[in-house]
Amino acid sequence: ERIFFQPGPTTLPKEVLSRAKAEWDDFEETGLNIMEHSHRGKSYETVHDQAKERLKRLMDIPETHDVLFLQGGASLQFAMVPMNLLESGKKAKYALTGSWSEKAYKEASKIGQCEIAISGKDTQYRTMPSMDYQASDEDAYLHITSNNTIYGTQWPDLNIFSHPNLVADMSSDILSRAINVSDYALIYAGAQKNLGPSGVTAVIIRKDLLHENEKLPNILSYHIHAKNNSLYNTPPVYSIYLLNLVLQWVEEQGGVAEMEERSTKKAKTIYDVIDASSGFYKGYASLESRSLMNITFTLENSELEQQFINECEISGIFGLKGHRSVGGFRASIYNSVPLESCEKLAKFMVQFQEKYGK
């Protein structure tokens, strides 16, 4: 049996795929697949609203905030956030902790005035920088990336940020740990890691930020999407349908608290092997910044790394190749990856070292 550790898109829970398969050509005895339904019809409307309500329940989203389902990936949010929230005369501040936050910063710089608040670049993004930043009146918002998918680092404690307008890209760790939504002006996440398939992006936005802006094209305006319950134009119906099934699965498993417990256990299984390997496996992230979602490590040399990949494939282990900017390997262990897969990988790693370690 094959097991997968892809960085995104990742696997969906088996139960979700089975359910989608069972409903494939006859959604609730309508004779149609859900994606063949009108997005203005009753069948789809129920799915759409269920997905929204489920995300609200799972994340304990207060009445002060609204949930939007948009297209264009997290990358469109790199642009939409400043387009909607960066008023002239203000500055957007960015915490640089990896490639994705750099991209967010660069996109925003095309739109208005931006500044780097803190940066971990001098450690090649191995370590999260210290949070020595004070909010200022000139700030439109402070943008952070909660988990750095490529480097395998994560802010261990999000409570260190207290900014009146905190914006967070949570694409790669949403629903993996409890957070206090009231602390945020806006949260966004491309779905293809912990929420479902690609094609839909969840945006959680504080309602006071939903003001009209005549100059913005409608499709780029949070106000327009919120006013139309994310049905301003045809939504990605099938992606939202699968997202709803994934959220249902998370609820059935025990919610975010359960995902958090599992994530901690899953990550420990693999980090323990790295730590006990006497340097055979070299973790990329510094200990205090390690991600519970993406585990990055390298081996002594490229021949050994090639051997590792080859033997992984023979053993049915896939998706471990690291991002080109870090090299080596990355085991992405999002919510849908079971503990047993992590245990299998850990066992494989131990055996590989026994075979090739000095």
Annotated active-site residue 90? The verdict is no
Select the residue interacting with ligand PLP from 8, 120, 196, 283 (CB under 6 A).
8
Question: Any known ligand binding at 24?
Answer: no
Residue 205's DSSP bridge partners are 66, 186
3-state helix, strand, coil in the chain (%, to 5): 40, 15, 40
Q: Tell me if 74 contacts ligand PLP by CB under 6 A.
A: yes
Strands (E), the chain: 3-4, 65-70, 91-96, 114-119, 139-145, 147-148, 153-154, 166-169, 186-190, 201-206, 282-283, 294-298, 317-318, 329-332
Question: To the nearest whole angstrom, how small is the minimum distance from the Cβ of residue 76 to ligand PLP?
Answer: 7
How far apart are the C-alpha atoms of 230 and 226, rounded to whole Å? 6
Given the residues 100, 139, 173, 266, the one annotated as active site = 100
Select the residue interacting with ligand PLP from 169, 239, 346, 349 (CB under 6 A).
169
* Residue nearest ligand PLP by beta-carbon distance: 73
Polymer length in residues for the chain: 358
Site for ligand PLP in 32-71 (CB under 6 A): none
Q: Largest alpha-carbon pair distance within the chain?
A: 67
For residue 258, count CB atoms less than 10 angstroms from its CB and return exposed for 0-12, middle for 13-18, buried for 19 or more.
middle
Annotated active-site residue 183? The verdict is no
Q: Tell me if 107 contacts ligand PLP by CB under 6 A.
A: no
Per-residue binder mask for ligand PLP (CB under 6 A), 253-292, x = binder: ----------------------------------------
HSE, side-chain direction, 13 A CA sphere, residue 312: 21
Question: Any known ligand binding at 64?
Answer: no
Question: Any known ligand binding at 147?
Answer: no
Angle (CA) 282-172-201 rounded to 5° is 160
Q: What is the DSSP string of 20-73?
A: HHHTTT-GGGSSS-GGGS-TTSHHHHHHHHHHHHHHHHHHT--TTEEEEEESSH
For residues 21 and 218, is the Cβ–Cβ distance under 8 A? no
Question: To the nearest whole angstrom, how small is the minimum distance from the Cβ of residue 327 to ligand PLP?
Answer: 17
Select the residue interacting with ligand PLP from 15, 32, 35, 73 (CB under 6 A).
73
20 vs 293, which CB is nearer to ligand PLP?
A: 293
Q: Tell me if 171 contacts ligand PLP by CB under 6 A.
A: yes
Question: Any known ligand binding at 97?
Answer: no
For residues 347 and 284, is the Cβ–Cβ distance under 8 A? no
Q: Identity (one letter) of the amino acid at 211? A: H
For residues 129 and 80, is the Cβ–Cβ distance under 8 A? no
Question: Any known ligand binding at 40?
Answer: yes
Residue 91's DSSP bridge partners are 139
Annotated active-site residue 169? The verdict is yes
142 vs 299, which CB is nearer to ligand PLP?
A: 142
Question: Any known ligand binding at 153?
Answer: no
192 vs 298, which CB is nearer to ligand PLP?
A: 192
Question: Any known ligand binding at 155?
Answer: no
Scan for tokens 């919610």, then name that residue.
255
Residue 118's DSSP bridge partners are 95
Q: Tell me if 153 contacts ligand PLP by CB under 6 A.
A: no
Per-residue binder mask for ligand PLP (CB under 6 A), 172-211, x = binder: x-----------------x---------------------
Q: Tell me if 100 contacts ligand PLP by CB under 6 A.
A: yes
Q: Tell me if 144 contacts ligand PLP by CB under 6 A.
A: no
Q: Tell me if 322 contacts ligand PLP by CB under 6 A.
A: no
Question: Where is the binding site, in residues?
Answer: 40, 74-75, 100, 149, 169, 192, 233-234
Question: Where is the binding site for L-glutamate, in residues?
Answer: 40
Please report, as ranges, the residues that interact with ligand PLP according to CB under 6 A: 8, 73-75, 100, 145, 149, 169, 171-172, 190
Which residues are designated catalytic? 100, 169, 193
Question: Where is the binding site for pyridoxal 5'-phosphate, in residues?
Answer: 74-75, 100, 149, 169, 192, 233-234
